[in-house]
Structures are given as C-alpha cells and as structure tokens.
Amino acid sequence: MGADHRVFLEATLPHMDVVYQVARQAAGDGQDAEDLVQETYLRAYAGFGSYRGENARAWLAAICLNVARSQARRRRRRPWEVTGSGLPEVLPLSRADGREGVADVADVVIAGLDAEEVSRCLGRLPEPQRVCIVLMDVAGYTAKEAAETLGCPRGTVLARVHRGRRRLARLLAEAGVAHGRS
Amino acid sequence: MDGRDRACRLLAGFLAGDLDPAEARRWDEHLLECEACWRAVREDRAGRQAAQVLRQPAPAGLADRVAFAVEMAAGAPAAAQRQARPPARVLGRARHGRWLRWRLAGAGAVAAGVVAALLMALLPGAHQVASMPAAVAAVARYAQVIPPPSGEQHPQRAAPLQVGRPVTVMAGGQRIVLRTWRLGRTEAVVAVSSTPFPMPARATGVSGRGMAWSARLGRLSLYCLNGRTSELVAAPVPATELAALAARLPLA
C-alpha cells in the first residue's frame, strides 16, 4: 500500500456523494451505508497502484457494488432481492370508486411519491435493472459510466434502466392503488 | 433478440437521444398514434422521477471519516494533521475548508511535510507514538484530538454518550473499530479489535487482570483489556482514573 494517500483522496473524495448514493441502495440488511463507503475507499486505496486513470466514479461504484456483494455473501444474504415473477405489461388497477380499469400508471406514481415506498418497490426489481436505476437515476451516472461500472454495453444499460423504470412505476402504481390512491 | 426486445432497445435509445434524426422523427410520429408505446414513455419518466426521490446528500463528516481511515491505512502522520484542524464534528460543517486543505496538501507536499514534522515534534508524546506498535499508535493518534477534561461538573453517574459514528481502520494488520464516548467531564476512545493490541515496550501489566496492560503517552492514558476481543481505552485522564473510567464504558 505505497500509493500517496493525498493523491488518492484528491482524486476520489470529490465522488464520495455519488458513491454514498450507490452504497445506500446497495447496502443489504445489516449493512451500514457509511461503513460500506469507508470500506469502498479502503479497497480502492489498496488497489490505487493499479488504477490507470480511468473514470474514477465508475471505478469506485464498481468497487462499492463488489464490496456490498461480498459482505452480503459473508452474511449469507443477498443485498439485492431478485423476483422472478413478471408484472403484466399493462397493470389492471382497482380504482377507489370500485370500477376496474386501466389507469394511467404515470399519473398514479407521480401523485403519491414516497421515498420509503419507492425504496421498497426498487428492492423488488431484478438486480440488473435495479443496479442500473441506482447508478443512473439515483446516483446520477451517465449510461456510459454505468456501462463501464458494470462491464456491459451502453445499449444494455439503457434497455435495463428503461425496463426497470417501467416496472418500478407499475409497482408504485399498484402500491398507490392498494393505499386508496387512484 | 426478439421483436419486443428490439422495440424496447429502440425506445430506450430514443429516450436517451441516441437515434439519428430521421429515426427519432419516425418515433415521434409513432408515439402520436401508438397508445402502448406512449404509455411506455410515460412509465419510463414516472419511474425515473420516482427513483430520483431517493437521492440524499452524504452525511456531514463522512468525508472526514473516510479520509481518516485512508490516512490510517497509509500510516500517515495523522496525529499532526488532526491536531492542526478542528474536530470532525466542526469540519463536517466546513467542507469547503477541507477541500482547500487537501488542495494545499497536494500542491505543497514538501512544505506540508516540514510542518507535519514540526507538529509531530511539538506534540506531547508524539515521539513515543512513533515508537509504539502500529495498532496502538493508531488509537493514540485518534485519541489525541480529545480535549482535556472540562472543569464543569457533571453528575458522577452520567450515562456514557456516544460521540459521532464509529470509525473502522486497519493498522499493523489489525482491523480496529474506534468509538468515542463522552462520560461526565471527559471523552474517551474505545478501540476494539479481534486481535490483541500488542503491549508497548514501556507499558506495565495490570496485576490480577490476565493480559491487561496500561501505558502513559503524553497526556493520554491507555488501558488494554484482552478477552474474547481486545479493547483499548484511551483518554486524557491520569492513569489512576482510567481503569475506573473504562469500567463505566460499554466495552465489547
């Protein structure tokens, strides 16, 4: 561990806010997001000697996701819940007035945004979609950076984030209707 | 890739602004007529908007915590740097100042080195820290920012109050979790490790307490208890008071 820690901190600390966004969503049960950020930076510092100056945000996010996964494996728990069942393409909504119909999912979602509910529904997405949404919509990574982080083509990231957003919107609409909103 | 997959990728590309102008225009026209695709666009926007509510700024002080952990991993003269700056709780509210300091540190490494060396030489017990086992030195460096006990009187039976968040560092190959506690009129650092803290050369064994030892380092007293885990307590109090203080702290 011979790298100059000041050079390392100068290169990486400006990205701590986005790493924290990733850590908050990647932290599984029993994991603390702040501990995860610290462990990410310690691992990154340990590997700073082999860092070739690529996108630091993408590099840190990839380390953060790996740390979250390996810690979760140690705890024998998955930080990302993967659900196999698919949602219908069009969500039939039970309206508050008792009539059945196809409501506008987007309107239902926007009308009742609640961070806790969003977090719960995000946790129900398949991992690939969830990770892409966390990187792009929560942490503010570009599709290119997310692709670099995950080691997959940019088009794949865009398709995953699109499917994930739609699924998230439908899950939230379903939850909103269940709570009496329509 | 089936037709649905392809349509999904094309729509995702359209929403990301990836399509060429002619193809984008075709999608614009298509969306005016196709209810299913228009719904997909609206769901995409709603999902993105929903995810954005999860953004939350990093807690004040996290950058300091991370920087300290890295400093410790690097074996840097953290004590000098920490003595030269206000406590982390204050720094959390003054991030701009921290950035300036880091920039200065990067730009004037040589000058900073000289200043750090001077500070190290002037700090009480700093030369002793350098000769201590790395894990013990890390705890001592962390504890050196604790102010001396205030003259203000507090109830003797005051419950320990944790100050800030735990910090995890690696030093001398040991993983150490550091917690700061306020107890009455003083603060103390409790360091916990699954590996026993090595006994420094000038430490003395505590009779009747197995592998326990105590040491004095400048104005700091150190007291180490070894059981299932190893706990090292550090506080700016006389050595005679530290064992009693440790007994009132929540050790592991």
Same domain flag for B48 and B75 = no
Residue B6, pLDDT above cutoff 90? no
Shared domain for B85 and B39, answered yes or no, is no
Q: Is residue B47 within 8 Å of A165, Cβ to Cβ? A: yes
- pLDDT, residue B102, reads 41
Domain match, B36 and B66 both: no
- Specify if B252 maps to a domain: no
Determine the 3-state secondary structure of B221 from DSSP: strand
Which residues in chain B (88-127) have CB-CB distances under 8 A to chain A? 102-103, 105-106, 109
Same domain, B44 and B151: no
Tell me the C-alpha distance between B16 and B12, whole Å.
Answer: 6
Higher pLDDT, B60 or B229: B229
Residue type, B42: R
Strand partners, B181: B162, B188
Is B57 inside a domain boundary? no
What global pTM score does this model have?
A: 0.61
Residues of A in contact with B69 (CB under 8 A): 38, 41-42
Cβ neighbourhood burial of A163 (10 Å; 0-12, 13-18, 19+): buried
Q: Show the tokens assigned to B132.
A: 């201590």
Evaluate whether residue B11 is within a structural domain: yes
Overall domain count for chain B: 2
Q: Note whether A169 contacts B39, CB cutoff 8 Å.
A: no
pLDDT(B94) > 60: no
Which residues lie below 8 Å from residue A173, measured CB to CB, with a gap of 6+? A91, A93, A103, A105, A108, A109
Distance CA B69, CA A36 (A): 12
Instruction: Give the mutation candidate from A38, A40, A157, A172 for the B interface (greatest B CB count, under 10 A).
Output: A38
Mean predicted lDDT score pLDDT of chain B: 75
Contacts of B102 in chain A (CB under 8 A): 6, 9-10, 13
Share of chain A above pLDDT 70, in %: 73
Structural domains for chain A:
5-74 (1.10.1740.10), 93-178 (1.10.10.10)
B98 pLDDT above the threshold of 50: no
Same domain, B174 and B224: yes
B195: tokens are 């590996």
Identify the H or E element spanning B62: helix B62-74
pLDDT per position as a tens digit, B30-49? 989 889 899 999 999 999 99
Look at residue A15 and give its three-state secondary structure: helix
Cα gap B230→B171, rounded to integer Å: 14
- Nearest CB partner across the interface for B51, out of A3, A138, A155: A138
Out of A65-74, B15-24, B97-106, B197-206, which region has the weakest mean confidence (pLDDT)? B97-106
Lowest-confidence range among A17-26, B19-28, B90-99, B221-230?
B90-99
**What average pLDDT does this structure show over A25-34?**
82
Instruction: Say which range, A54-68, A92-106, B163-177, has the weakest mean pLDDT.
Output: A92-106
Is B71 domain-assigned? Answer: yes
Residues B107, B81 within the same domain: yes
Per-residue pLDDT band for A5 (boundaries 50, 70, 90) equals confident
Residue A21 has pLDDT above 90, yes or no: yes
Tell me the average pLDDT across B45-66: 88
Q: Give pLDDT, residue A133.
A: 96
Contact in structure between B172 and B198 (CB atoms under 8 Å): yes
Q: What is the mean pLDDT of residues A110-118?
A: 76
C-alpha gyration radius of chain B: 27
Contacts of B39 in chain A (CB under 8 A): 90, 104-106
Which of B6-10, B25-29, B119-123 has the highest mean predicted lDDT (pLDDT)? B25-29
Residue in B5, B56, B65 nearest the CB of A38: B65
Q: How far apart are CA B102 and CA A74, in angstroms?
A: 35
Q: Are residues B13 and B102 in the same domain?
A: no
Residues B39 and B133 both lie in one domain = no
User: What would the pLDDT profile of B138-175 be if each residue is shown by its tens digit?
Assistant: 888 888 877 777 665 444 557 888 887 788 887 888 88
Range of the domain at B155: 62-247
Same-domain pairing of B122 and B70: yes
- Per-residue pLDDT, B117: 41
B182 within 8 A of B160, measured Cβ to Cβ: yes
- B44 inside domain: yes
A150 or B202, higher pLDDT: A150
φ, ψ of residue B178 in degrees (nearest 5): -110, 130
Using CB atoms, which residue from B11, B16, B63 is nearest to A143? B16
Residue A114 CB-density burial (10 A; 0-12 exposed, 13-18 middle, 19+ buried): middle
B158 in the same domain as B34: no
Cβ within 8 Å, pair A41-B69: yes
Is 80 exceeded by the pLDDT of residue B134? Answer: yes
pLDDT bracket for residue A107 (50, 70, 90): low
Tell me: do B11 and B100 sit in the same domain: no
Does the residue B18 lie in any domain? yes
**Together in a domain, B136 and B183:** yes
Q: Do B54 and A122 touch (CB under 8 A)?
A: yes
The pLDDT-based confidence of A163 (bands split at 50, 70, 90) is very high
State the Cα angle at A61 between B180 and A124, rounded to 5°. 95
